[in-house]
Amino acid sequence: MNRVETITTNPGVPPVPMTGIWRTIRGYILWSYERGTVQYDVMVTLILLFIFLAPHWVNFNDKPVQHNPHPSGVVVLPDGQGGLIYQVEGPAVSGQDDGAIRSELLRIIEPISGAVSITSYEPVRDRYGHVQNYRVWVRRQ
């Protein structure tokens, strides 16, 4: 069977080769161009432009969440034997007896280190006898 193609054109307007345009679009979508060709360079350039310029115009909502487990300052120091010493600010602990101090220290340290048990702690005092901070030795459970 013979196929007959009908092309309708407006007088004075040159026909647009749609098959060539669709072939180019299909080549871009299927990534069928070899490296080193102009089409390949155009695709890579468009991808790089999207990567570097899209964050200025598109809100991806990818900001990190501010997570402060406890408002007190905690410093983690190595103890020289493979363990860690947690140094907690003195005003963050208001307990007076040993049990209350241990529970408050655990409440401050556990969000940082996970499940631990306190092996020992020592208050660090200034020359007037006020507690400046606590040094806490912990063991993982």
The runs of H, that is alpha helices, within 18-118 are: 18-29, 38-57, 98-113
| The pTM of the whole model exceeds 0.85 | no
* Residues 88 and 133 grouped into a single domain: yes
Domain limits for position 35:
18-57
d(CA 7, CA 29): 27
Contact 121, 135 (CB under 8 A): yes
Asked if residue 107 is part of any domain, the answer here is yes
Chain-wide mean pLDDT for the chain? 82
Q: What does the pLDDT read at residue 121? A: 92
Q: What does the pLDDT read at residue 50? A: 92
Asked if residue 82 is part of any domain, the answer here is yes
pLDDT one-digit tens code per residue, 76-110: 888 777 778 899 988 888 888 889 999 999 988 88
Listed residue (89, 141, 100, 104) closest to 119, CA to CA: 141
* Residues 53 and 109 grouped into a single domain: no
Asked if residue 64 is part of any domain, the answer here is no
Share of the chain above pLDDT 70, in %: 81
* Residues 125 and 84 grouped into a single domain: yes
